[in-house]
Every structure is written in structure tokens, then in C-alpha cells.
Amino acid sequence: MTASAQAASRETVRAPGYVSRTAGPPGGPALPRPRGELSGAVLAALASPGRAGAGLPGTREAGAADPYGDDLHLALYALYELHYRGFADVDPDLEWDPALLELRAALERRFEAELRAATGPVADVTGALDTLLTGTAEDADTDVSRFLRRQGRLWQLREYAALRSLYHLKEADPHAWVIPRLRGRAKAAMVAVEYDEFGGGRPEGVHAELFAELMTDLDLDPAYGRYLDQAPAAALAPVNLMSMLGLHRAHRGALVGHFAAVEVTSSPASARLAAALRRTGAGPAAEYFYTEHVEADAVHEQVVRRDVLGGLLAEEPDLAPDIAFGIHATTHLDTRLAEHLLDLWRSERSALRTPL
């Protein structure tokens, strides 16, 4: 039985007529507040239909930006969001505006170059996957799930959920972009895993919806994009990575590597987060989101290793360095986020730009 079929048999399944909790305001969330010249120019362009190319910075300014900074990552996030749900009162045609795409490409080059410099040339996919598990087990100092399970408090779990909502409320969406770029065994296996992620055809089982219910239990607003202004660059960068990889066919191998990294690490981390939520009395829907992932992602890990990665490497063995890059880049950005969170939480400070 698939994970989605098992979830469908539980008492927590909702009745027909389920209404999405992630919907938010019609037309998408409001535009965020700028954090510098790059993001300010992008957001001004999005707010001014017909003048998208006016006042945008050039490739030189983009190439000089801090690759981990708030300004670059908010600009990238806003540009990527045009390919998801968009923003309220922003012209949908701007998704393919040439001036915005040119700036996005320059920002991507800056971000990707830094990631490749940080991860180095790698090609050992099996070794990269094995390191995910051994590294997590040995390095508890940069493991958020271990911290939250052992000593996390409810306010820290609420902050973590608010920040992770930028990913989980679009969970599996960017990975779906790789499906038409795969074939054979890899494509069939990827679709099977994504089918579970999207609830097995049942809207109340979509993992993004389950996370929205977690947020409701934690007294957070589950509307899509609600906490973008509160999220620091360290929380935006991992989401921008998967969007960048998903939107480029040339990065299909790296996107599969990213997907593998998520699935391989999800089950043990989800078990720890479920325990943290149970200990703090967060609520049944909050705990259920992670207990569902413990079971589902343990199955997904095997499918991804054997059939998605195995199938892709059988078809295109030259993609091994790209797959390994996707794994290592994901780990690199997750570690940066963990360091940001834990440094502040251990000193009893909020990890958000503005506290909840």
C-alpha cells in the first residue's frame, strides 16, 4: 500500500468538500517589503505594469551582490514566485518579461557560482547520499531537528514552522518541473513519489495542505506566502535553490539530487520533529504532518535511490556530477540555515527578521 493510500485510511482524513487552508488572498500574496537596491528595483517593476524594464539594475550590479544576502535572495524569490502563484495585483504576463528574466539570470549566475565554489567538483552520487545520513548523525550541533526534540520550546517550533512554510506550502511543486525532462524508469518513479506528495489525488492529503493544518495548530497564519517578510536570507536561499534547479532543464540532474537529499534526510528528521511537537503539546495536526513523513519518506527514499537516481544515471551517466552538486548544495544551504537558527535560539533571540 502506498503512503497516500495508508493516509487515506486514517481517522484524520477530512470529508469531501475540503477547502484549502493555503489559499490566502485572491491573486496571490501581497508584495513583500524591499531589502536593498536589487529587491527594491524588482518589486517596483512588479508593482508598475508596463514599466518592468525601467530602473532595473544591470548584470554588473547583480554580479557584485552578496550571494547569501537578503537583497539578492528576496529579489530572486520574488522573480521565481511569478512562476508559482504570483502576487496580488501583479500582471501575470510579467512571468516572461525579457528584462526581468535577464536580471534573474544574472542573479542566478552569482548564486550558482558561490554554491559551486562552496561545494567543489564532485561526482560520487552514492558517497554524497551516504554522507547525508552519517553527517546528520555525527553533527548534532548543526541539526535543528535534534535541538528541537531535546530542548526546543513552543515559540521556537512556531518560528521554525513559519520559516519552513515558504518551502512546505509549495512542497513538491518545483520538483514536478523535472518530470517532462525525464524518461523511462526515472520518470515513472518520480511521478509515483510526486503522486504521494500531492495526496494521491485527494486534496486533503496534499502535503502542503497538511503543513497548513500544522500551522493552524501552532496558531500561525497558513496563508501562502504569509511569512515572506519575516524570513531571513538563510531561509530564502534553500527555496530559491529548488526553484532555480526546477526552472532550468540544464539543472535536471541537480534537481533530482536535491530531491534525493530531501527524501533521504526527511524520515529521521521528521521523527524527531514529531517528538518535539508531541513534547510541547503543539496539537494533533502539527504532529501528524511529521508522523506522515516518517512513514511516507522512508518508502520514498528507497524509490528515489533505486529508480529515480538509478534510472536517470542509467539513461544519462554524464549527469552524475550534477546530481552530486544538487545533493551537496542542498546540504550546504540547510547547514547555513541551521547555524542561523541555532545561534539565535541558543541566546534566546528570535531567528525571524521580526518576531511573531
Confidence of residue 19 (pLDDT cuts 50, 70, 90): low
CATH, range 123-345: 1.20.910.10
Distance CA 275, CA 347 (A): 23
Distance CA 7, CA 211 (A): 14
pLDDT score recorded for residue 131: 81
In this prediction the pTM is 0.91
Confidence of residue 324 (pLDDT cuts 50, 70, 90): very high
Cell digits of residue 303: 524509490
pLDDT score recorded for residue 134: 66
Q: How far is CA 177 from CA 49, 174, 346, in A?
A: 28, 6, 38
Helical spans, DSSP H, in the chain:
3-8, 37-46, 59-63, 70-81, 98-119, 125-138, 144-151, 154-168, 173-176, 184-197, 207-217, 233-246, 252-279, 284-303, 310-315, 320-345
Asked whether 41 and 55 are in contact (CB, 8 A), the reply is yes
Give the residue extent of every domain in the chain.
19-116, 123-345
Confidence of residue 319 (pLDDT cuts 50, 70, 90): very high
pLDDT score recorded for residue 25: 64
Reduced to 3 states (helix: H, G, I; strand: E, B; else coil), residue 36 is: coil
Cell digits of residue 307: 529508480
Comparing 319 with 11, the larger pLDDT belongs to 319
pLDDT (tens digit per residue) in 207-253: 999 999 999 999 999 999 999 999 999 999 999 999 999 999 999 99
pLDDT score recorded for residue 15: 43
Total residue count of the chain as it appears in this document: 356
